[in-house]
Amino acid sequence: MLMQLLAGTPVFLPLAGAAALVVLSFLGIRLKDELIEGAARAVSTIVCGAALGLLASVGGGPRRLALGHLLGIDVTLVVDRLSAPFLAVAAFLIGVVGYFSVRYLRREAGFQRFFLLYGLFSGGLSLLFLAGNLGALVAGWEFVGVSSVLLIGFYAERTAPARNGAFVFVAYRIADVGLVGAMVGMHLLLKSMSLPFWLGPTAPVAPSASLWIGAALVVAAAGKAAQGPFVAWLPRAMEGPTPSSAVFYGALSVHAGAYLLLRTEPFWGNSPVIRSVLIVLGLSTALYATFVGRTRADAKTFLALAAAAQLGLIFAEIGAGFPRLALWHALGHAMMRAFQFLTAPSSVMYWSVRLRDHTQPSPVRFLSPRLTAWVYRRSLLGLGGTSLPGVPRPAEGNDLQGVESR
């Protein structure tokens, strides 16, 4: 019972908080900042405590915890060496960022709205990590997606956040198609949506089923983790307040893609095609994001692209069959990057004493001026993001065709 409580708390307590704020906002009630601050701090402290408790418990082996039935659906959470560390890092970062935000966003008009979305994100991410079957994972995934998009569009009175929020929304929807596809594939081909313990014994999966399910999962994971063509959404997500950019897209949300692949490895792992795709996709994204990132002069895009590059390596590691390395890499990277995003506003002062040693002529220039020019052009044109499949260009954007074709 204690374990059930520990596992249920990180999911349902923040969601309950968010639900309460939804109701209050619907009734037009605006809580005092101090009250929201106190509640956010209490919730995130409890969630951190629960996450630590779960982390301590995995020494005793993985557990599958049935929380009971919710409207006839079996709610099962999995606590193992994959979900517990992910949850612990997420709870820590969400807690720190919550503490950061109660002051940073003070007296901002959207204070209550921010913490509504914060609760939604927090509970959703916990559910995503702890889900014992793909259906529950999808539910958490959607909470995370919706709250992310709304946080990007936080300053909806300006045009750019609304536009970029819509862009990310579309990218997420494409990823969702993959996830729903995987769910359907599992249902039809495997007759089960249960998610196994990490690196535990699993029933063999036919190669054809691996290919189908794996392909769908790769689309989902790549969308969430800003890999391949999806890399364009990550810089656009930097429209919200600094703490939300930092923790949600820069550090946590993107790693959900890697988590998904790690958790579902038994289903796609025996397809060499999927493994190769992951390696190629990851490495090419890593190179592309690194190159483009080096052209960027703004702190947040630079960090966002550095994050996409590391996620590319994590994808490649997962594809190549180094899940333990990928886990450490992902967790360390999330922590490190969150810190850097939170301190991004101070980058001018941080680096300014000796400017000259920072910028160097690009080494690629000596290899190929044309490659350099191409990298810069991609960078300046929004990473080619306007050509994301199915996403219309902004009407005014057509005037750049001359530049793109040159």
Partner 1 sequence: MRHTATAAEEPPSDPVERLRAVVAAVRHWLPSQGPIAVFVHHNTLHSFEHMPFEDAVEHVARRNGAQPYLPHEEYLAAWRAGRISDEAVERALADRTAREGASFFGVLTRTAAERHALRVPFVAYSAASLTWTLAERGPDGFPGASGGPLGGAAKRELLQALVDRIDSRLAAESPAPSLAGDGALATEVDRLTAQFLGAFLDLGAARWELPGRKHGLLAAAAALGLVEASGATGPELVVRLFEERGIEPPEWENAVFALLRPIAGWAGMVATLEEQPELAPAGHPRASLVELVALRLALGAPTDMAAPVLASTGTAMIAQAFGVLCRAGIDAKAIVGAHQSDVATFCRALGAFDDVARRRVLHRAYEETFQRGIVAALSGRPAVVSTQRPKFQAIFCLDEREESMRRHVEEAEPACQTFGAPGFFGVAVAFRAAGAERTVDLCPVVVKPQHVVAEAGSADRPPLARLDRAINRATRGLVPGHAIAAAAGLLAGVPLILQVTMPRAAMRLGAWLGWGAMRPERPLAIDATGGFTVAEMADRVGTFLDSIGIGRRTARLVFVIGHGSRTANNPFASAYECGACGGNRGDRNARIFAAMANDPRVRAELAARGAPLPDDTWFLGGCHDTCSDAIDLFDLALVPETLRRELGAARATLDAARAENARERTRRFPEARFGMAPAAALAHVERRSASLREARPEFGHGSNAALIIGPRALTRGLFLDRRSFLLSYDEAGDPFGEILSRHLGAAIPVCAGICLEYYFSRVDNRVYGAGTKLPHNPVAMLGVMDGAASDLRTGLPWQTVEIHEPMRPFAVIVAPRAKVAAAFARVPDVLGLVARRWVRVVVLGGHDEAPAWFDGRGFVTIDRLQAAKLRVFSRSRDYFDGTRDHLGPVVVGRESAC
Residue 170 contacts partner 1 per CB under 8 A = no
Q: How many residues bind partner 1, per CB under 8 A?
A: 100
Give min distance, CB of 110 to partner 1, in A. Answer: 10
Looking only at residues 185 through 204 of this chain, which bind partner 1 when binding is defined by CB under 8 A? none
81 contacts partner 1 (rule: CB under 8 A): no
**Of the candidates 25, 47, 59, 31, which has an alpha carbon nearest to the alpha carbon of residue 94?**
47
394 touches partner 1 by CB under 8 A: yes
Any contact of residue 346 with partner 1 (CB under 8 A)?
yes
Interacting residue with partner 1 among 105, 117, 182, 318 (CB under 8 A)? 105
Going from the C-alpha of 296 to that of each of 242, 365, 402, the distances in angstroms are 18, 16, 23
Nearer to partner 1, 11 or 299 (CB): 299
Distances (CA, A) of 90 to 79, 122, 251, 339, 375: 14, 8, 9, 13, 34
Provide the 3-class DSSP secondary structure of residue 131: strand
354: contact with partner 1 by CB under 8 A: yes
Of the residues 25, 39, 100, 139, which one makes contact with partner 1 according to CB under 8 A: 100
DSSP string covering 326-359:
HHHHHHHHHHHHHHHHHTGGGHHHHHGGG-TTT-
Lay out the site mask for partner 1 across 137-156 (x = CB under 8 A, - = otherwise). -----------------xx-
Question: Quick check: 351 binds partner 1 (CB under 8 A)?
Answer: yes
By CB under 8 A, is residue 381 in contact with partner 1?
A: yes
Asked if residue 373 binds partner 1 (CB under 8 A), the reply is yes
Nearest approach, Cβ of 14 to partner 1 (angstroms)? 19
Minimum CB separation from partner 1 for residue 258, in Å? 12
Contacts (CB under 8 A) with partner 1, residues 216-245: 235-236, 238-243, 245
C-alpha to C-alpha distance for 157 and 46, rounded to whole angstroms: 35
Residue 261 contacts partner 1 per CB under 8 A: no
Nearest to 217, CA basis, from 248, 186, 253: 186
Taking the complex as a whole, the smallest distance from the CB of residue 59 to partner 1 amounts, in Å, to 18
Q: Please identify, using beta-carbon distances, which residue of 194 and 290 lies nearer to partner 1.
A: 290
Taking CB atoms within 8 Å and a gap of at least 24, the contacts of 162-171 are 163/394, 164/236, 164/237, 164/239, 165/239, 167/232, 167/233, 167/236, 167/385, 167/388, 167/391, 168/233, 168/236, 168/237, 170/388, 170/390, 170/391, 171/223, 171/230, 171/232, 171/233, 171/388, 171/391
Applying CB under 8 A, which of residues 22, 23, 35, 287 lies at the interface with partner 1? 287
